[in-house]
Structure 1
Amino acid sequence: MAPRALEADPASVRRHVAVSAAITALGGLLFGYDTGVVSGALLFVKKDFGGLSNFQQELVTSLLLVGAVVGALVAGRVSDKIGRRPAVLITAVVFIVGVLLAAFTPTYPLLLVARVIIGLAVGSASMIVPLYIGEIVPPRVRGGLVSLNQLAITVGILSSYLIDYGLSGTGNWRLMFGLAAIPAAALFIGMLFQQESPHWLIRQGREDDARQVLRRLRDDGDIDAEISEVREISQREGGLRDLISPRVRPLLMVGVMLAVFQQITGINTVIYYAPTLLQGAGFGNSGALLANVVNGAVNVGMTIVAIWLLDKVGRRPLLLSGTAGMAVGMAITACCFIGGSQLHGALAIVAVLGLLIYTGSFAIGLGPVFWLLIAEIYPLKIRGAAMSVASTANWAANFVVTVSFLTLLTAIGGTGAFFLFGFLTLVALAYFWRKVPETKGRSLQEIERDLVRS
Structure 2
Amino acid sequence: MQFTLIAVIAGLGGLLFGYDTGVISGALLFIRHVFHLGPTMQGVVVAIALAAAAVGAAFAGSLSDSFGRRIILLITALIFIVGALVSAVAWSVAILLLGRVLVGAAIGVASMLTPMYLSEISPPEKRGAIVTINQFYITLGIVVSYGVGFLLSHGGNGWRWMLGLGAVPGVVLFAGMLTLPESPRWLAGKRREDAARRALIFLRGREDVTDELSALRQDIAREDRATAPWSVLFEKRARRPLIVGIGLAIFQQVTGINTVIYFAPTIFLKAGLPSASVSILATAGVGVVNVVMTLVAMRLLDVAGRRKLLLWGLAGMLVTLVILSVSFMIGLHGSLALVTVLSVAAYVAFFAIGLGPVFWLLIAEIFPLAVRGRGMSLATISNWTFNMLVSITFLDLVHGFGRGPTFLIYAAMTLATIVFTWFLVPETKGRSLEEIEAALEGEEKLAA
Kept in 1: contact 2:268–2:340 (CA 8 A): no
Secondary structure of the structure 1 residue equivalent to 2:431: coil
Corresponding residue number in structure 2 for 1:18 = 4
Contact 1:311-1:440 within 8 A present in 2 as well: yes
Asked if the contact 2:428/2:436 (under 8 Å) is kept, the reply is yes
| Structure 1 position 398 matched with structure 2 position 399 | no
Q: 1:27 aligned to 2:13?
A: yes
Deviations 1:131-167 (A, max 9, x none): 0010011111100010000000000000011011111
Query: How far off its partner does 1:221 sit?
Result: 8.9
The correspondence for 2:257, drawn from 260, 267, 272, is 267
Q: Give 1:255's match in structure 2, choosing from 245, 248, 254.
A: 245
For 1:335-346, list aligned pairs within 5 A.
335-339=326-330, 344-346=333-335
Q: How far did 1:220 drift?
A: 5.6
Q: Give the secondary-structure state (helix, strand or coil) at the position aligned to 2:265.
A: helix
Q: Determine the C-alpha separation between the residues in 2 that align with 1:219 and 1:109.
A: 49
Shift of 1:226: 2.2
The equivalent residue for 2:446 is none
Residue 141 of structure 2 is matched in structure 1 by: 156
Q: How does 1:347-362 map to 2 (within 5 A)?
A: 347-362=336-351
Give the corresponding residue for 1:6. Answer: none
The aligned counterpart of 2:307 is 316
Alignment of 1:71 with 2:61, yes or no, is no
1:209 deviation in Å? 1.0
| SS of residue paired to 1:311 | coil
CA deviation string 1:192-241 (max 9, x = no partner):
11100000110111111111111122376972222222223234142211
Query: Does residue 436 in structure 1 map to residue 422 in structure 2?
Result: no
Q: Deviations along 1:155-180, whole A, 9 cap, x unmatched?
A: 00000110111111114100000001
Aligned residues of 1:325 and 1:358 also touching (Cα < 8 A): yes
* Aligned: 1:40 with 2:40: no
Shift of 1:270: 0.5
Instruction: Give the equivalent residue in structure 2 for 1:12.
Output: none
Secondary structure in structure 2 of the residue aligned to 1:312? coil
> Please, what TM-score do these two structures have when normalized by structure 1?
0.94
Q: Deviations over 1:81-102 (max 9, x none)?
A: 0001001001101100100000
- Contact 1:247–1:452 at 8 Å: present in 2 too? yes
1:245 and 2:235 aligned = yes
Structure 2 contact 313–351 (Cα < 8 Å) conserved? yes
Is the Cα contact below 8 Å between 2:256 and 2:410 reproduced in 1? yes
Question: Match of 1:281?
Answer: 271
Specify the alignment match of 1:213 in structure 2. 199
CA positional deviation for 1:337: 0.5
Contact 2:271/2:340 (CA < 8 Å) preserved in 1? no
1:250-294 CA-to-partner distances (Å, cap 9, x unmatched) read: 211100001000000000000001111111222211111111011
Asked whether 1:146 is paired with 2:135, we answer no
Q: Is the 8 A contact 2:14 2:135 kept in 1?
A: yes
1:297 correspondence with 2:288:
yes
Q: Output one character per residue of 1:39-59: Cα deviation in whole Å (capped at 9) or x when no partner.
A: 00000001111x211111001
Correspondent of 1:98 among 83, 106, 125: 83
Answer yes or no: is the 8 Å Cα contact 1:75–1:124 preserved in 2: yes
Residues 16-53 of structure 1: CA deviation (Å, up to 9, x unaligned): 3212211111110110000110000000001111x211
| Alignment deviations for residues 369-427 of structure 1 (CA, whole Å, 9 cap, x no partner) | 00000000111110000000000000011011011110011111011001110111011
Q: CA deviation at 1:107?
A: 0.7
- Output one character per residue of 1:407-448: Cα deviation in whole Å (capped at 9) or x when no partner: 011111011001110111011011101111011111111111
Query: 1-side partners of 2:239 and 2:30: how far apart?
Result: 45
Distance 2:126 2:264 in 1: 34
Shift of 1:367: 0.2
**CA shift in 2, pair 1:426/1:221, >3 Å:** farther
SS, match of residue 309 in structure 2:
helix
State the alpha-carbon separation in 2 of the partners of residues 114 and 384 from structure 1.
Answer: 27
TM-score, structure 2 length as denominator?
0.96
- Contact 1:233/1:381 (8 A) holds in 2: no
Matches within 5 A, 1:127-138: 127-138=112-123
**Partner Cα distance (1:380, 1:17) in 2:** 23
CA offset digits 1:115-141 (Å, max 9, x no partner): 111000010000110000100111111
SS in 1 for 2:209: helix
Tell me the distance in 1 between the aligned counterparts of 2:58 and 2:439: 27
Q: Residues 240 and 440 of structure 2 are in contact (CA less than 8 Å); yes or no, is this contact kept in structure 1?
A: no
User: For residues 210 and 138 of structure 1, what CA distance do their matches in structure 2 show?
Assistant: 15
Q: Secondary structure at the match of 2:329?
A: coil
**Does structure 2 retain, via aligned residues, the 8 Å contact 1:66–1:396?**
yes
